[in-house]
Amino acid sequence: MKDIRKIKKGRKITQGIFFSLFKIATAINGIALLVVISFLVINGWRAINWTFLTQAPYDSMTKGGIFPCIVGTIIISLGAILIALPIGVSSAIYLNEYARPGKIVRMIRLGINNLAGIPSVVFGLFGLALFVIWLGFGVSIISGALTLAAMTLPVIIGASEEALRNVPNTYREASLGLGATKWQTIYRVVLPSALPGILTGAILGISRVAGETAPIMFTAAVFYTPSLPSSPFDEIMALPYHIYVLATAGTEIEATRHLQYGTALVLIFIVLGLNLLAIFYRTRLRRRL
Amino acid sequence: MKQNYHSGTSRKNKEKIIRSIFFVIALASGLTLGLIVVFLFMEGLPIFSKVSVKDFIFGIYWYPTDDPADFGIFPLIIASLSVTLVSSVISIPLGISSALFLAEIASRRVREIVKPIVELLAALPSVVIGFFGMVVVAPFLQEIFDIPVGLNLFNASLMLAFMSVPTICSISEDAIFSVPKELREASLALGATQWETIWRVIIPASISGISTAVILGMSRAIGETMVVLMVAGGAAMVPRSIFDPVRPLPASIAAEMAEAPFRGDHYYALFATGIVLFLFTMAFNMVADYISNRYRQVGAATL
């Protein structure tokens, strides 16, 4: 009897040890996030003021603000999403509403999965070769937006498919039963119910695109532009690239430290803000379903 | 009646056209993938008229701007593989443990708080993580390990681990979560403890999903650019210790492309480096795809 109790106790202890390890591992995630954010906030908040947010840099980037970078990042992220969203949602509609399982669908999915796995710098090379050089768009907003759109396409397709899958089949059947065609059903019934989910995906897409550096290094972003872009064929400054340049390439790396912190803080404020928005929105959606 | 019949066919035709339009658009991803391959090879292959494939891959000297230039990417390949390997030593246990905690131990409430944290961690822009590695981790490592440079293989691996933990965690959590309840209950009913159930039943049942997660996490690490560009140190040498500076494939491409003369040998060599990197990630993804198709997991994980 005593032995059994001992064994039982041993088993309990093993369980306790492993469960604590799991808890610690999970806690490390939270701590990492907290450390990075608080480090940026502590060092960056003093750099942020009205001038910083609304002025262009001057004195070879050691003074002034990051206004052109904010504008550039917003323009290029929105541009990328405007290109990727219609294509992504349409692909998802085909895959979820029209396609029957088979070879073609498997090929399409294989394409999407592999596209999702391509490194961002390879997208940069692709954008450089196709958009900048071959199509002659030059280093420009349009080249960068197209490159980023290609990169974010799998994310948009995935989110839209999930949103479409979550629309109950009874909706479709009711609409078809009333004599609507397939397209009418999709357009009038399925899409409106899936719209919130699709928008959540789009927000996540924007946040991901806004933080990307490697794909725009060769296709859209430059160290410095004297004026804000006025056409899609202009080059831009962007927040992530600005951080990279200030932190690595300048001769005044130490002198611009506060600007680097400030820029990084603005960037994660935008990116994490959009993410929180999407998470919050999605939780509310799930509750409603 | 005739008119009705007529509008019926036109309705049908319209439906067909709409269906075809969606089909064509759905091919866009595949088309993009194809274009990427075509343009990578178009701009990368010319280098092999100067250097043989073997010398390119196994050459240990990367001096692209010297005269005569050396285009050997072996040190870059080793650098990429070693940062990926070291980072996965950290990220695999962390990621899977977090997944097990979320799927098996945490209460619903805790899960609803922790999952967004993991998602936010995944959302941190790589340039910010690279910046953090440069400014905080590098001096810290220099001090505690008493090494000359803080920007090195170990630092890069550490930062990369933080980027792949969320990938590994969320995909394995999905796999673990979808193990059928019956298996869990049967094991517990036989008198196994919760831990024994996890170790002997849950993990074996979800091992294919977990493997996919690990491979995709490693694939993310090997392709990640900004972190290795900013933190790895940048020396194109085969590393001798974990604290040596290295120059992984993506870092080399990103750092040198701006200076490489258009359609010169250096330019072609960087595209060829891109081909090698592309093939690496492609291989990782194919293996992941194969595992998740071949070893169908128990239960219905949506991988």
**Which residues of B fall within a CB distance of 8 Å from A182?**
15, 18-19
Find the CB nearest B114 among A26, A87, A248.
A26
Cα–Cα distance measured from residue B238 to residue B244, given in angstroms and rounded to the nearest whole number: 9
Kindly report the nearest CA distance between residue A25 and chain B, in angstroms: 5
pLDDT digits (tens, 9 = 90+) for B14-73: 899 999 999 999 999 999 999 999 999 999 999 999 899 999 999 989 998 887 888 999
Give yes or no: residues B127 and B266 share one domain.
yes
Structure tokens at B251: 């870092």
Nearest CA in chain B to A115: B33
Closest chain B C-alpha to A230 CA, distance in angstroms:
24
Q: Has residue B300 been placed in a domain?
A: no
CATH number of residue B77's parent domain: 1.10.3720.10
pLDDT in tens, chain A (289 residues): 567 777 778 888 889 999 999 999 999 999 999 999 999 999 988 888 888 888 888 877 777 889 999 999 999 999 999 999 999 999 999 999 999 888 999 889 989 989 999 999 999 999 999 999 999 999 999 999 999 999 999 999 999 999 999 999 999 999 999 999 999 999 999 999 999 999 999 999 999 999 999 999 999 988 888 888 888 899 999 999 999 998 987 677 877 888 899 999 999 999 999 999 998 888 887 776 5
A94 and B93 in contact by Cβ < 8 A? no
Answer yes or no: do B32 and B94 share one domain.
Answer: no
Q: Note whether B61 and B154 are same-domain residues.
A: yes
B17 touches chain A (CB under 8 A): no
Residue A157's pLDDT is 96
Q: Which residue numbers in chain B have pLDDT < 50? A: 1-3, 301-303
Q: Is residue B88 part of a domain?
A: yes
Contact A33 B117 (CB under 8 A): yes
Domain boundaries, chain A: 2-47, 50-288
Residues 221-280 of B with CB under 8 A from A: 222-226, 229-230, 250, 253-254, 257-258, 262, 270-271, 274, 277-278
Domain that holds residue B237: 53-294
Residue B299 maps to a domain = no
| Residues B177 and B245 both lie in one domain | yes
Q: Which residues of A touch B289 (CB under 8 A)?
A: 110, 113
Contacts A131 to B, Cβ<8 Å: none
- The confidence score (pLDDT) of residue A50 equals 87
d(CA A101, CA A38): 48
For residue B302, tell me if it sits in a domain.
no
Taking CB atoms and an 8 Å cutoff, what residues of chain A touch B250? 119, 121, 214
Q: What is the pTM of this model?
A: 0.91
Q: Which residues of A touch B106 (CB under 8 A)?
A: 26
Q: Is there a single domain that holds both residue B32 and residue B72?
A: no
Residue among B39, B100, B136 minimizing CB distance to A22: B100
Residue B170: CB atoms within 10 A of its CB come to 19
B303 assigned to some structural domain? no
B78 & B141 share domain: yes
Q: Which residues of A touch B150 (CB under 8 A)?
A: none
CATH assignment, A50-288: 1.10.3720.10
Q: Which residue of A has its CA nearest to B290?
A: A110
ipTM of this predicted complex? 0.91
- The reply to whether B37 and B157 lie within a common domain is no
Interface test with A, best of B20, B128, B135, B218 (most A CBs within 10 A): B128
In total, the C-beta contacts within 8 angstroms joining chain A to chain B are: 262
- pLDDT the model gives residue B302: 46
Residue B245's pLDDT is: 93
User: How many CB atoms neighbour CB A27 within 10 A?
Assistant: 14
Q: Does B123 touch chain A (CB under 8 A)?
A: yes
Domain count, chain B: 2
